[in-house]
A and B are shown apart, each in its own frame.
Chain A
């Protein structure tokens, strides 16, 4: 069933894009790729996409690696809370992040008011937003491993006569390197396919491939060029994912891992206190300040006027009062979560079966594709593939949840797989020998162990579909906008009221996502406490 789902809602749309881009009058024209690539503005977009991703990745590593150390090796009060706070940006909708940075560094933003500094016309706004977003990726993947590395390895090197710095460079760094590489690739992938942030902060000057695809489709109506661009992005993302899979496999080489709770120490010495302080200031300025400013702007001078304005239908921007977007978003997200959890859980179970063949294992990598292949590809594919026979879903409300579920499934699979793989096969065998049928084995042995993971996965899918922008913006009907789509549309209009309403809607969206995430964090810590 997961295979069929992906065939119809992923492979088929992608195939439709290929056909649209490279086929004219029934004949294949591979020359189109060369033609599109020869255009100077396309080359410009490609160049910008690549270098901003590289710089964003480098900046993120620079800022987040000390943070990873602090979270892995230092013990301080409030660490649990701070860890949750750091993760919030990652699940925040790109639109919210874009809006928050607009409120911080944009026209009439906080920095503009204080010092007359505006960054929204420069690339810095985009880069900062990307660091904001991906801080958690590095802290979680690198810090997670760092916390489990046995400090005694470093101590052993010290006993053999190396200096602390050299011991770190020779022992810890090589063990961390694959995790750093994997995190860097992930960040590169996310920033390479960045859409919402660039769409809002980039203005007319800066445009990534993803934004360009959207522009070609919805503003210039050049579907064939958009299709070719999508293909280019598809290939690039495939390459990055392949590289990522390779580094992850290398990371699995035997490392001595210990319980994370025993490796953290109280900070000692000036250096460690400085690192801790630096990390705290980073979190405060980089992560919390933009969100605080967003909230402050949404309230604005008008009291809660912007919020009240959301409930009115001024007939200009929308056919319906903006507040209805909340209901739309929530109901779409519930449907998308249901689909994503069912499909994702089935896929994860299929992947953990012992007799899973090579075909199924290949499917593992395939499942990750929608995550990287970018939401815009999914939305665009849906737009051109599913609005005509044989499959016409254009008028059906299910189209939006389907696209959002497609983006959410990889998260579900990623959350479920490690837990399912950790269930000892012989525990299942023990149940079978005692007379449990395969279905009873799943219910009696697997389910009690993965119940929490299933909840966490559902929460992730919920947060993802709530904030999903790239795909939804293609296919959401004008009279049924979701929250991110409504925010983007409000920002696209001039006037203080629209701006304020966008801030207010973003704040609402942020609060919903943050609450979802904090509930998840609670579930997670409960789980680690129990097993």
Chain B
């Protein structure tokens, strides 16, 4: 393992921001830590970088315990959330900074700067002032600066957080492709699930300083570990249920479950695509309370009598209007029993 955290704990005034976190990152792997703000993601990166001392536990890089190792000797790269480019240096000066700190020759520096600016799509920008760059360009310069000293581990803190949506979606694809080409080992943190799923080989979901779930994007998406992860991923149809052999007892009545699902008192997730709308006299009777156009489908909010709301996804041409009475049936293939 290139990086392992063993029981890493950081407390701020008695509150554990990182609570006995165990995490491993293999060489050439891209790991994305996903969590709401305040879940301890940034502290995790700072602890690995050596900017935040651990209260207990260990950070091990390449098999060596990093206790007492100052940040500038760890040989890891960190791209800050708001880039933190040096304002008094130009683009070239920023990118060359790490090389200079490592005592590279002037000519070596110049070659590497040129190569990196090419790589991030800003060829010939080395004389430009950083204040004159757009948000996306600053982000590219920050990436080039972090990559320049060839760190064994590159860490990204909300790498695309401040950019607008279309740029973000384009850059995330570029990043994934770039890291794949360079074979960079990456540990990124983000609160945006789309970003995490697009970038990562493995996603780690954090909550209150602990790891709630770890797995490939597909695994996490298909089987969230618990109600928290499911809700954080944007699923709203999450209820406590008593699961039997073929169906579960829920506030919405009998709901079919997939074959071989664990039985007993469990948390049940019904994906919006698993909520099928039928005529009002069949199935569970609901009133449509809201309707949001989502581009590829319409999200419909349904209020059954005496039960929690349901979210359904359906095609535009069959979507009911607000105030309509509809019936609901469930599709076992789109239902997951959690935990």
Spell out A's residues near B (CB within 8 Å).
424, 426-427, 429-438, 440-441, 444-445, 448-449, 531
Contacts and interface: CB of A to CB of B under 8 A. Distances in A.
A106 B98 CA distance: 67
User: What 10 A-B pairs come out closest when comparing CB atoms?
Assistant: A434-B98, A435-B101, A432-B71, A430-B84, A433-B78, A448-B88, A436-B101, A432-B72, A435-B72, A426-B84
Given A430-B84, A430-B86, A531-B87, 14 more contacts: A426-B84, A427-B84, A429-B78, A429-B80, A431-B97, A432-B71, A433-B74, A434-B72, A434-B97, A435-B75, A435-B101, A437-B70, A440-B101, A441-B72
Contact of B51 (A424, A429, A436, A531): A429
Contact of A432 (B51, B75, B86, B102): B51
Interface in B85-122: 86-88, 97-98, 101-102
Given A432-B72, A433-B51, A426 B101 contact: no
B51 A444 contact: no
B271 interface: no
A435 B84 contact: no
A440 B103 CA distance: 12
22 contacts: A426-B82, A426-B84, A429-B51, A429-B78, A430-B80, A431-B101, A432-B50, A433-B49, A433-B74, A434-B72, A434-B77, A434-B97, A434-B145, A435-B73, A435-B75, A435-B98, A435-B101, A435-B149, A440-B72, A444-B86, A449-B88, A531-B87
Chain B interface residue number, banded? 20 to 34
A462 to B, nearest CB: 26
A159 B219 CA distance: 57
Contacts of B77: 433-434
Contacts of A436: 72, 97, 101
Interface of B: 49-51, 70-78, 80, 82, 84, 86-88, 97-98, 101-102, 145-146, 149
Tell me which of B49, B72, B77 has the highest count of chain A C-beta atoms within 10 A of its own C-beta: B72
Given A426-B84, A449-B88, A433 B102 contact: no
Interface of A: prevailing SS: helix
Given A429-B51, A445-B86, A448-B88, A434 B80 contact: no
B52 to A, nearest CB: 10
Contact of B70 (A431, A432, A445, A531): A432
Contacts of B97: 431, 434, 436, 444
Contact of A435 (B80, B86, B87, B102): B102
Contacts, number: 63
A449 B80 CA distance: 20
Given A427-B84, A427-B86, A434 B101 contact: yes
A434 B80 CA distance: 12
Given A426-B80, A429-B51, A434 B88 contact: no
A436 B101 CA distance: 6
B71 A433 contact: yes
A438 B70 CA distance: 9
A384 B303 CA distance: 88
B290 to A, nearest CB: 35
Contacts of B70: 432, 437-438
Contacts of A444: 86, 97
B118 to A, nearest CB: 20
Nearest to A530: B88
A187 B312 CA distance: 70
A440 to B, nearest CB: 6
Tell me which of B50, B73, B97, B101 has the highest count of chain A C-beta atoms within 10 A of its own C-beta: B101
Contacts of B88: 448-449
B330 to A, nearest CB: 49
A433 B75 CA distance: 8
Given A436-B72, A448-B88, A449-B88, A430 B78 contact: yes
A438 B51 CA distance: 12
A179 to B, nearest CB: 29
A435 to B, nearest CB: 4
Contacts of A438: 70, 72
B45 to A, nearest CB: 10
A70 to B, nearest CB: 33
Contacts of A440: 72, 101
Contacts of A441: 72
Contacts of B84: 424, 426-427, 429-430
A433 B76 contact: yes
A218 B217 CA distance: 85
A437 B80 contact: no
Contacts of B80: 426, 429-430
Nearest to A426: B84
Tell me which of A424, A427, A432, A445 has the highest count of chain B C-beta atoms within 10 A of its own C-beta: A432
Nearest to A437: B72
Nearest to B84: A430
Nearest to B101: A435
A531 B131 CA distance: 10
Contacts of A449: 88
B221 to A, nearest CB: 32
Contacts of A426: 80, 82, 84
Contacts of B149: 434-435
A438 B78 CA distance: 17
Contacts of A435: 72-73, 75, 98, 101-102, 149
A430 B146 CA distance: 9
A448 B78 CA distance: 23
A441 to B, nearest CB: 8
A441 B51 CA distance: 14
Contacts of A531: 87
A353 B146 CA distance: 25
Nearest to A427: B84
Contacts of B146: 434
A440 B70 CA distance: 13
B68 to A, nearest CB: 14
Nearest to B93: A444
Contacts of A427: 84, 86
A433 B145 CA distance: 11
A142 B270 CA distance: 63
A437 B98 CA distance: 11
Tell me which of A429, A448, A449 has the highest count of chain B C-beta atoms within 10 A of its own C-beta: A429
Nearest to B97: A434
Tell me which of A429, A434, A445 has the highest count of chain B C-beta atoms within 10 A of its own C-beta: A434
